[in-house]
Amino acid sequence: MKALYILVPLFALLVGALWFAVSMWEGLVGDVPLYGWFAIGGGVLFSLALGGGLMTLMFYSERHGYDDNADGRSH
Q: 37 and 18 in one domain?
A: no
Q: Would 74 be classed as within a structural domain? A: no
Q: Would 5 be classed as within a structural domain? A: yes
Q: Would 72 be classed as within a structural domain? A: no
Q: 41 and 26 in one domain?
A: no
Q: 26 and 39 in one domain?
A: no
Range of the domain at 47: 33-67
> What is the number of structural domains in the chain?
2
Q: How far is residue 38's CA from residue 36's CA, in Å, rounded to a whole number? A: 5
Backbone φ and ψ for 14, nearest 5 degrees, come out as: -65, -45
Q: 21 and 5 in one domain?
A: yes
Q: 60 and 40 in one domain?
A: yes
**Tens-level pLDDT at each residue, the chain (75 residues):** 888 899 999 999 999 999 999 898 888 777 778 898 899 899 999 999 999 999 999 999 988 887 777 676 665
Question: Which DSSP string corresponds to the chain?
Answer: -HHHHHHHHHHHHHHHHHHHHHHHHHHHTTTS-HHHHHHHHHHHHHHHHHHHHHHHHHHHHHHTTTTS-TTS---
Are 46 and 52 a contacting pair, CB within 8 Å?
no
